[in-house]
Structure 1
Amino acid sequence: MLDYITSNLWQLWTVLAVGCLIMELVSGGFFIICFSVGAVAAALTTLIGGLGLQVFAFVVFSALSIFLVRPFALKYLHDDKPAPVSNADAIIGRIGRVSETITAGHFGRVAIDGDDWKAQASTTKHDISVGQLVKVVGRESIIIDVVPATTPNPTNKPA
């Protein structure tokens, strides 16, 4: 058994490389993949050298990948741009039209782009009547917080 393993070390390095790739898919930090590169280099050195050369190739290529390839990959694959807002958070700042009166201290409804949201006006002490324009200033679960809008934003047409 030991003879088989020592004569087929390329298989061990290949399994290590694939295992590191799988772990990288789970983590996504471009760190574990560097060890996969080292394992591939070690597997290739089984053609020309013994275990010492393979371990040396693994260490050298893993280190080179960590210090040279990883920063390049992080720079070009992970932008410093903030993640785009999606789903319900995308309506914050939007203008809508009251479809059911929002009474002070209670709830009403606001229509935005064909969707009807349960809404509250926590910053105002007055009722907001049907047809008035409101601006979404926050969200708590599925209830939006609105304030009366003075003028609609031309790029953000009311519902």
Structure 2
Amino acid sequence: MLDWLVANSWVLWLGLFLLLAIVEMMTLDLFFIMLSGGSLAALAAGLFGSPFWAQVVVFCLVALLMVLFVRPVALRHLNRGPADLRTNVERLIGETATTLEAVTDHSGLVRIGGDTWTARSSDGSLIPAGQRVEVARIDGATAVVSPSGKPLNNYEAGEA
């Protein structure tokens, strides 16, 4: 069995490549994909007739070089963008909204960027319908809003 595996080492390297690629898909760390690149290089060396010990050396060298030089560059490109990038509901904080019905300290509706949210006033005041407000925070599925000093334009007021 071992003799067959050494003689047909490409099967070993292909299997290792597939295994490492599957592990990379689960971890998304860009480490195992570098190792799988090394196994592809060893597979190529095996197909060109290199002895098994040379294939192992090729695997180790290519994998090491990829981890040391390719992975940091790839991680930099993946992590590009502003460090304070807000996602999901965090991006709504500070946005302006329009009240669709009166907002009190317990209930109300607002439109934030085309979506309708339940809302309540941050300071307990009554905010009439049709007013511009600012999102102070999000509590679950409720936007906590405060009055804004900016006037509505005709489009936001529904006079388009």
User: Normalising by the residue count of structure 2, what TM-score does the alignment of the two structures yield?
Assistant: 0.80
Tell me the SS of whatever aligns to 2:134.
strand
Where does 1:5-154 land on structure 2 (aligned, <5 Å)? 5-46=5-46, 47-82=48-83, 85=86, 88-103=89-104, 105-122=105-122, 124-152=123-151
1:48/1:152 CA distance change after superposition, 3 Å: farther
Amino acid at match of 1:70: R
User: Is there any run of 5+ residues in structure 2 with no aligned partner, and where?
Assistant: none
1:17-63, Cα deviation, whole Å (9 max, x unpaired) = 12212222222221111111111222222234322212111111111
| RMSD over aligned Cα atoms | 2.6
Query: Percent identity over the alignment?
Result: 31
Amino acid at match of 1:91: L
Q: How many residues align?
A: 155
- Following TM superposition, by how much is the alpha carbon of 1:88 offset from its aligned partner in structure 2, in angstroms? 4.3
- Following TM superposition, by how much is the alpha carbon of 1:152 offset from its aligned partner in structure 2, in angstroms? 4.3
Measure the CA separation in 2 of the matches of 1:92 and 1:113: 12
Amino acid at match of 1:79: R
- Following TM superposition, by how much is the alpha carbon of 1:130 offset from its aligned partner in structure 2, in angstroms? 2.3
Tell me the SS of whatever aligns to 1:23.
helix
Tell me the SS of whatever aligns to 1:4.
helix
1:80/1:100 CA distance change after superposition, 3 Å: closer
Where in structure 1 do 4 or more consecutive aligned residues deviate above 6 Å? none
- Following TM superposition, by how much is the alpha carbon of 1:3 offset from its aligned partner in structure 2, in angstroms? 2.9
1:48-94, Cα deviation, whole Å (9 max, x unpaired) = 43222121111111111111111222223331434855554443322
Amino acid at match of 1:142: A
Contact 1:133–1:148 (8 Å) recurs in 2? yes
1:83/1:56 CA distance change after superposition, 3 Å: same
Measure the CA separation in 2 of the matches of 1:95 and 1:61: 53
Measure the CA separation in 1 of the matches of 2:111 and 2:50: 72
Measure the CA separation in 1 of the matches of 2:18 and 2:84: 30
Tell me the SS of whatever aligns to 2:16.
helix
1:88/1:153 CA distance change after superposition, 3 Å: farther
Contact 1:133–1:158 (8 Å) recurs in 2? no
1:55/1:111 CA distance change after superposition, 3 Å: closer
Amino acid at match of 1:25: M
Amino acid at match of 1:135: E
User: Is there any run of 5+ residues in structure 1 with no aligned partner, and where?
Assistant: none
- Following TM superposition, by how much is the alpha carbon of 1:138 offset from its aligned partner in structure 2, in angstroms? 1.1
